[in-house]
Amino acid sequence: MSSTSITAPAILRSQRWALAALLLGGIVIGCSPIFVRLSEVGPMMTAFWRVALGMLPLLAWQAASPARGEADARPAGFSDYIALCVPGVMLAGDLVAWHISLHLTSVANATLLANMAPIFVTLGGWLLFRTKISRIFLAGLALALAGVVILKGGPAALGGGDIKGDVIAIIAAVFYAGYILSLGKVRSRYSTLTVMLWTTGSAAICMLPLALFFETGFWPLTLFGWAILLGLAWITHAGGQGLIIFALAWLPAAFSSLTLLIQPVVATILAWLVLSETIGIMQAVGGIIVLAGILVARRG
């Protein structure tokens, strides 16, 4: 029996586990808007605490498992450390641009344009890494993005925005695309824990001066406020981002970014359950179209 026939089933099983982890990670991160809405500090400071407090379970994980495994290399030089920090810088840029766009343009514009990240991931993968893109995948991408537009109110919801805010929301999408692409690059060499530690730490370092500059309130005032930040940091960041980083060792960055469009679907459902926000026929149809687009792209 050839080695290919032995390893192919194992690879297929790993890809299935990775897809399950990616979907679960997208669902978990879809909870983040609820935490942000309930936070007692400003959106920028909330973003800082999200990554700063997210370091705690990661450091505990590192202390509990000192042995190196899961194809984990050691950074050998300055370029390796830079490569590990790039995803964190991209994540910080995404969060900053996203929050600024929310103050300059309409919420609908900022949300829709920031969710265009899969376009830039696909384009970046093709330009930088010559990733092959099938027509079936492009059809799934177009279908999923159309579903997001319908989910957020359709083309009519894009009125009333500001061109500067819209451009910054697109910049947020570009930063998020850079985050996914750079994660996929370093994930082939380093373990989930190593990538999470460097990404989270570098994002926190970048976010702190920006949060202090743009906002005044630093600490939550109640235990409830701290509980919300801990939930955001430990559940959505350490848990959700950890699952996504794990999946990127087995799945292409373009497909991974498209699959993460499940986040606005989950956020809409949670807003209905927790915040009593209504879900109309358009939101339901949009969510179904997003899921259909993901299934089509999976075939590609």
Within a domain: residue 1?
A: no
Within a domain: residue 9?
A: no
CA distance 297 to 28: 21
3-state SS class at 289: helix
CA distance 37 to 115: 19
pLDDT at 14 (0 to 100): 79
Q: What is the pLDDT confidence band of residue 127, given thresholds at 50, 70 and 90?
A: confident
If one compares 223 and 251, the residue with the highest pLDDT of the two is: 223
SS (H, E, C) 247-277: HCCCCCHHHHHHHCCHHHHHHHHHHHHHCCC
- Of 73-82, 169-178, 259-268, minimum mean pLDDT range: 259-268
Within a domain: residue 285?
A: yes
- What domain count does the chain have? 1
Residue type at 92 in one-letter notation:
A
Q: State yes or no: pLDDT of 195 exceeds 50.
A: yes
Q: State yes or no: pLDDT of 70 exceeds 70.
A: no
What is the chain's mean pLDDT, rounded?
82
Q: What percent of the chain has pLDDT over 90?
A: 23
Stated pTM of the model: 0.80
Q: Across residues 49-59, what is the average pLDDT?
A: 94
Residue type at 85 in one-letter notation:
C
Q: What is the pLDDT confidence band of residue 135, given thresholds at 50, 70 and 90?
A: confident
Within a domain: residue 6?
A: no
Q: State yes or no: pLDDT of 168 exceeds 80.
A: yes
Expressed as residue numbers, the domain containing 273 is 19-299
Beta-carbon contacts of 148 under 8 Å, excluding residues fewer than 6 positions away, are 112, 115, 261, 264, 286, 290
- Of 65-74, 120-129, 213-222, minimum mean pLDDT range: 65-74
Within a domain: residue 39?
A: yes
Beta-carbon contacts of 55 under 8 Å, excluding residues fewer than 6 positions away, are 197, 200, 201, 204
Q: State yes or no: pLDDT of 231 exceeds 90.
A: yes
Do residues 73 and 195 touch, judged by C-beta distance below 8 A?
no
Within a domain: residue 196?
A: yes
Within a domain: residue 282?
A: yes
Q: State yes or no: pLDDT of 152 exceeds 80.
A: no
> Dihedral angle at the C-alpha atoms of 216, 221, 224, 228, nearest 10 degrees?
20
Q: State yes or no: pLDDT of 89 exceeds 90.
A: yes
Whose CA is closest to 274, among 29, 33, 106?
33
If one compares 9 and 41, the residue with the highest pLDDT of the two is: 41
CA distance 47 to 132: 35
Q: Which of 149-153, 180-184, 291-295 has the highest mean pLDDT?
A: 180-184
CA distance 233 to 53: 6
CA distance 128 to 250: 19
Q: What is the pLDDT confidence band of residue 158, given thresholds at 50, 70 and 90?
A: low
Within a domain: residue 255?
A: yes
Distances 219 to 45, 50, 96, 171, 209 between C-alpha atoms, Å: 9, 13, 19, 29, 15
Whose CA is closest to 111, among 24, 20, 52, 36?
36
pLDDT at 107 (0 to 100): 61
First to last CA, the chain: 29
Q: What is the pLDDT confidence band of residue 1, given thresholds at 50, 70 and 90?
A: very low
Q: Across residues 286-290, what is the average pLDDT?
A: 84
Whose CA is closest to 29, among 44, 9, 10, 50?
50
